[in-house]
Amino acid sequence: MRVFIAARGEVAIRVAKAVRELGWLPITVYTDEDRVSPHVSAGWLAVKVDSYTDPDELVEAAISAEADIVHPGYGFLSEKPEFAEKVLDAGIAWAGPSPKAMRLLGDKLEAKRLAEKVGVPTLQWCTANNPSQAARCVEKIGSPVVLKAPRAGGGRGLRIAYNPWEAAKLYRIVVREASNGFGDSVSSIVVERFIESPRHIEVQVVGDADGHVIHLYERECSIQRRRQKIIEEAPSPFAERVRGLREQLLDYALRLAEEVEYSSAGTVEFIVDASGNPFFIEANTRLQVEHGVTELVTGVDIVKSQLIVAAGRKLAYRQEDVKIRGWAIEARIYAEDPWRGFAISTGTIEAVRFPQNPWLRIDHSIVEGLRVSASFDTLLAKIIAYGWDRGEALERLSTALMDTVIAGIETNIDLLRVLVRKDWFINANFTTQTLEQNLAKLLEEAKQRRMLVSQIAERIGLLPQPHPRQHLLEAPLSHGWPWPPTWQ
């Protein structure tokens, strides 16, 4: 079997490993800018393309590489049913759900209607096609509300309004962002009731080709900044605490997945209010960045499951075989400068050190000398720590973050180091707003610590000193060096 991996970065490497474990042949793709990226050599063959987001070009590359399966990773075209259709039309298997399931769950409106149909609670909502409709919507369902463009994500195409007037104003921004970011022209957006301090819990599901769906329990991703997930863990501390919540979440996720005869891996996302009421928000019809924490606590290889289902084989496990054992926490390291409003930081990676420990899993795609550009996602590495319980996993994560060095570009490591030591994090008393509420304090503390380390380095005498004979270094060299000018 030859598997064409239509992705870049750490996920391409992750998929390539699973392909090789199955004894199959991984084929990676790269653009000119990515020639020297580590994911290129993760494949046994690598194909050059002009763009990661041109479906026709990628399908053609997969055909010419004689691929049997296409795995889309995450991001790029992984949630585009049009791409899946083109792959399947070319006679190549698709390591993802059917295009029909992708359409039903991928569109936020369709997915909400589906949830209502199968009795899964969602938030009150209505659609708006212009600013005044958006305002009327708020009057009907109450505020605050969130304005969402279809297929929005990663903080784009999403805004929160606290009154009708604000909703009308934000309508234009949301429409604009959606049209720019996703290449689709949109005018219809969803206005939805907004839960102010929720927790974000999602359920991993895997379906085989016959429509049998099983769940791999839940993950909690409440530590976010502007809807960008930063720390994820499995199982969810909130689901452990609130009686009956886990069973409810798993049941809802399975109902939805079974309704669309979901095959391959997917995630059903919920927000849960303070009293433990879950509301379905969206389904992701692809592998997720944070799949690793679920893999560690269940022992199930999710990527391999996707490949096995795509190859038309049976899954090696049944629902009753899947149990949670221990705890796993993941921290994402981004190439962003937290002290400058999390602006993308670019440059050359000058040093990379990752700790080694049998209970650590580090998924990354960086090497010394690699240039980090603003063209792609800013995710540099995922540090996943496993432990007997949450406390042990947290200690391992904290120690691993202390020992990790990524230099040359600014990253959020210092912020993570301070964050994982906070009582509200250790005691799992957080919502999706907690990080943002504490951000200023955390950044100040991280800055103080960094400055202290600089001072220590200076006192030890590690920082560059002016050269004692600077005038000699600056003296002009005679022509004909190394011979003195008088030598003839």
Partner 1 sequence: MAGHGRPHGSRARIVDVSEHAPGVYKVRISFDNGKEVEIIAKIEGDTLITPFGAYHVPSLASRIFMESSERAAYKPEAWLVRIEGEHIVANLPVRVIEVLTKPGEKVSRGQVVLLVETMKIVSEIRSPCNGIVKHVAAEGSTLDKDSRIATIECL
Helix (H, G, I), strand (E, B) or coil at 443: helix
- Residue 330 CB burial class (10 angstroms; 0-12, 13-18, ≥19): buried
Whole-Å CA distances, 299 to 74, 238, 294, 317: 21, 22, 8, 11
**Is 367 a residue that touches partner 1 (CB under 8 A)?**
no
Amino acid at 25: L
Residue among 454, 467, 480, 483 that touches partner 1 (CB under 8 A): 454
SS3 of 38-93: HHHHHCCEEEECCCCCCHHHHHHHHHHCCCCEEECCCCCCCCCHHHHHHHHHCCCE
Residue among 119, 373, 463, 467 that touches partner 1 (CB under 8 A): 463
- Joined tokens for residue 279: 């509301």
**Is 462 a residue that touches partner 1 (CB under 8 A)?**
yes
Residues 6+ apart with CB under 8 A from 356: none
Q: Is the Cβ of residue 132 or residue 375 nearer to partner 1 in the bound state?
A: 375
Residue among 243, 323, 459, 479 that touches partner 1 (CB under 8 A): 459
H/E element, 323 = none
Length of the chain: 488
Distance CA 292, CA 302 (A): 8
Q: Is the Cβ of residue 69 or residue 170 nearer to partner 1 in the bound state?
A: 170
Q: Is the Cβ of residue 156 or residue 212 nearer to partner 1 in the bound state?
A: 156
Residue 425: CB minimum distance to partner 1, A: 12
Among all residues, which ones are annotated catalytic? Answer: 286
- Joined tokens for residue 450: 């960094």
Show contacts with partner 1 in window 167-186 (CB under 8 A). Answer: 172-173, 176-177, 180-181
Show contacts with partner 1 in window 295-354 (CB under 8 A). Answer: 339-344, 350-351, 353
**Is 76 a residue that touches partner 1 (CB under 8 A)?**
no
Q: Is the Cβ of residue 90 or residue 451 nearer to partner 1 in the bound state?
A: 451
Q: Is the Cβ of residue 341 or residue 476 nearer to partner 1 in the bound state?
A: 341
What is the per-residue binding string for partner 1 in 395-414, x denoting contact by CB under 8 A? ---x--xxxxx-xx-x--xx
Q: Give me the residues that bind partner 1 (CB under 8 A), please.
A: 155-156, 172-173, 176-177, 180-181, 339-344, 350-351, 353, 374, 398, 401-405, 407-408, 410, 413-414, 417-418, 421-422, 445, 447-457, 459-460, 462-464
